[in-house]
Amino acid sequence: DAGVTQSPTHLIKTRGQQVTLRCSPKSGHDTVSWYQQALGQGPQFIFQYYEEEERQRGNFPDRFSGHQFPNYSSELNVNALLLGDSALYLCASSLEWDTTYNEQFFGPGTRLTVL
Amino acid sequence: QKEVEQDPGPLSVPEGAIVSLNCTYSNSAFQYFMWYRQYSRKGPELLMYTYSSGNKEDGRFTAQVDKSSKYISLFIRDSQPSDSATYLCAMTKTGTASKLTFGTGTRLQVTL
């Protein structure tokens, strides 16, 4: 059983460009969350998708947007990249939304460098 | 002020030592508390979770939660070089169960 997979592994972009990151959840999972982890920091919640809709959102600007597909995979899009967007972007999948507790399984992340 | 505070370390201990990792938090709405381990260039993996106050043991790992003090701990007994990693505490509030709020992470190095 493949766990959470993310692509690409690494990405280098320049300021002002746009980027799309991809995530495939663990088999059987229907909820995908995205986190940004800056160097030396803990992951910060960006948003969560369930049933192809954004259900929760953290304190990130509208430059960050996402999508969930019918097969539960997800994309994270970032427009007008800033140097401060350089980070490890983590995707986490879980089963069911808004339950009391559910374990989130993390992928290996995509390391984005903005020059 | 961050909702969750964690000493970033680094923390260096000899093999076999008992390790104590801690986090404090400010929001009493947090109900579920987790510890994740993150190896370099990898995603976090869940080590333990606890609900509300109390202790939970799993092998060499013990998690403690003291809600009255807003303080959580992870103890690692008989530490091994393979335990060298960054340890992240995380917690969720009632009603927003899936949104994890993380600490900064503590980098642990276990030396031979």
Q: Environment class of residue B75 by beta-carbon count within 10 Å: exposed (0-12), middle (13-18) or buried (19+)?
A: middle
Tell me what the mean pLDDT of segment B19-37 comes to: 94
Whether the CB of A56 is below 8 Å from some CB of chain B: the reply is yes
Whether the CB of A74 is below 8 Å from some CB of chain B: the reply is no
Q: Which of A53, A31, A39 is nearest to A99 (CA)?
A: A31
- SS3 of residue B8 by DSSP: coil
Contacts with A98 from chain B: Cβ below 8 Å: 95-98
A54-63 tens-digit pLDDT? 999 999 999 9
- pLDDT score for A97: 63
**Dist CA B23 CA B19 (whole Å):** 14
- pLDDT score for B98: 72
B33-82 tens-digit pLDDT? 999 999 998 999 999 988 878 899 999 999 999 999 999 999 999 999 99
Q: Which of B31, B39, B41 is nearest to B96 (CA)?
A: B31
**Dist CA A42 CA B103 (whole Å):** 6
Q: How many CB atoms lie within 10 A of CB B39?
A: 12
User: What is the DSSP secondary-structure string of A35-92?
Assistant: EEE-TTS--EEEEEEETTEEEEE-S--TTEEEEE-TTS-EEEEE-S--GGG-EEEEEE
How close is the nearest chain B Cα to the Cα of A102, in Å?
Answer: 7
CB contact (8 A) between residue B98 and residue A44:
no
**Dist CA B109 CA B88 (whole Å):** 14
CA A83 to chain centre: 18
How close is the nearest chain B Cα to the Cα of A17, in Å?
Answer: 25
- pLDDT score for A6: 97
CB-CB contact of A45 with A106 (8 Å):
no
CB contact (8 A) between residue A42 and residue B46:
no
